[in-house]
Structure 1
Amino acid sequence: AEGEVLPIEQELADSLHVGRNALREAVKVLSGKGLIQTAPRSGTWVRHRDDWNLLDPDVLRWHADPNVATRKFMLDLLEMRRIIEPKAAELAAVRASRKEVGDILSAYEEMSVEGISQAQRIEANIRFHAAILKASHNTVLNHFRFAIAAYLKAHAARGLKVSAADDRADLERHRLIAMAIATGKAKSAYSLSVEMLRLNRSHFEEQL
């Protein structure tokens, strides 16, 4: 829990059934991600959640685990997507290279393959959104691909039901976004992304 002081090194190692060297390495990793803090004579304690590096890929993955992900965390991720992705799509429509457009279209084509498994669909969807972020040519926006991947995987892991009609409509929205970017229609890419994510949130809230 936040603020909790961890046991001394040997006690913690014994309770976790690991060696002290392995424990020290783990503490170093968790400290680097902002989850815990160590100080001489004060020991090691769990930092406040506000101090955690929530954009770290590992921390995102841990939080998005369906066994621990809260409804609020999922909605926070979705809100972040609604802030970031429409602008990234707008920029991509202006800045994308021919290869980057090809990557976006290729990811969409993979998503739309009939009979594709859910796991393959998710990975293709992640590639689609990551390709758009990359095509924005903004290195900071590009880093948000980890957060989007975490959301998409966690969303799928929750097993939320999607009708065949809704699934086809979702694919069509992805196609329209891809084509807007490919044809340099920045305003359309932005507005289509806004609408897709609005519907995504609506569907998420209906089932939770």
Structure 2
Amino acid sequence: MNSFSAGPLGRHRTMHGRVVDWLGERVVSGVYAENSQLPNESELSAQLGVSRGGVREAVKALAAKGMVDPRPRIGTRVLPRSSWNLMDRQVIGWHNTDPAFVRDLLELRLIVEPGAARLAAERVDPDQVEAMSAAYDAMAEHAARLPQDSEEFVAADLAFHLTLLRASGNQLVEQLGRLLESGLQHGLEATSELPGGVETTLPMHRAVLDAVRRGRPDAAARACRKLIETTAAAMAARTES
């Protein structure tokens, strides 16, 4: 099977990645429930049109994330969620259609990002201010051409938030931002799709930028919290609709 052909695995840059995604999404969604057994290598190989070795390597990748426990001659058991590495970027991505998980990501952002904005206002360097400003300008430019420019708008919005986390000067906060990237994107897409959502949140981004640029930690934290709370409300409205 060509690595970009249609089929049960969909499309992915590599065959290995396609198999890992296919299995991971089904474990997260409960198709393969906690404490259940995965189909054996032969069954999965036939179903997906890949070699048994390819299935075996994909199962090893899930095992490294704490999601499954492969045992020779016994089979592969799906482990309880408490064992999963929920901060793994792929695992986060596989949860993007799970409203409860996305809500938890937003709560984590509320814990982390206002504090990061506070630190950024104290530590930001001129290059980071310029990067945040450029991201904001790109958002404003593409906002005028939504929904056609939705992909470009979300990319600029994401760059704004990741630069803010990096400007905190805390390497662990910056790394957390990269881990949350898929969750961030999910929330930003929801906000950009709601009628009036961009018109509401764009000035809030400007308030964060201005507070960071002027070195006002309290104002930066408040503006950031208000922005995330607005995103959370947009996500809730999207889920209910």
Give the TM-score of the pair, scaled to structure 1. 0.88
CA-CA distance at 1:12 after TM superposition: 2.9
User: 1:183-204 CA deviation, whole Å, 9 max, x = no partner?
Assistant: 1111110011111122222233
CA distance in 2, matches of 1:102, 1:57: 28
Answer yes or no: is the 8 Å Cα contact 2:135–2:157 preserved in 1: yes
What is the aligned-residue RMSD (CA, Å)? 2.0
Who is 2:49 aligned against?
17
Of 93, 104, 122, the residue aligned with 1:76 is 104
Who is 2:145 aligned against?
115
Give the TM-score of the pair, scaled to structure 2. 0.77
Distance 1:92 1:158, change over 3 A: closer
SS state of the match for residue 38, structure 1?
strand
Answer yes or no: is the 8 Å Cα contact 1:108–1:125 preserved in 2: yes
Of 128, 134, 146, the residue aligned with 1:106 is 134
State the number of aligned residues. 203
1:181 aligns with 2:209: no
Who is 1:128 aligned against?
160
Distance 1:159 1:83, change over 3 A: closer
CA-CA distance at 1:145 after TM superposition: 1.9
SS state of the match for residue 87, structure 2?
coil
**Aligned residue identity for 1:24:** R
CA distance in 1, matches of 2:231, 2:219: 18
1:201 aligns with 2:232: yes
User: 1:71-101 CA deviation, whole Å, 9 max, x = no partner?
Assistant: 2112111111111110011111111111111
SS state of the match for residue 69, structure 2?
strand
CA distance in 1, matches of 2:230, 2:72: 51
**Matched ranges for 1:48-67 at <5 A:** 48-64=80-96
* Percent of aligned positions that are identical: 32
CA-CA distance at 1:41 after TM superposition: 4.5
CA-CA distance at 1:182 after TM superposition: 1.0
**Aligned residue identity for 2:217:** A
CA distance in 1, matches of 2:229, 2:190: 19
Range moving further from structure 2, 108-117 or 148-157: 148-157
1:36 aligns with 2:64: no
CA distance in 1, matches of 2:86, 2:98: 14
CA-CA distance at 1:158 after TM superposition: 5.7
**Where does the alignment leave 5 or more consecutive residues of structure 2 unmatched?**
1-32
CA-CA distance at 1:156 after TM superposition: 5.5
SS state of the match for residue 35, structure 2?
coil
Q: Which has the higher contact order (CA 8 A, sep 6+)?
A: 1
CA distance in 2, matches of 1:20, 1:54: 27
CA distance in 1, matches of 2:100, 2:192: 16
Answer yes or no: is the 8 Å Cα contact 1:126–1:148 preserved in 2: no
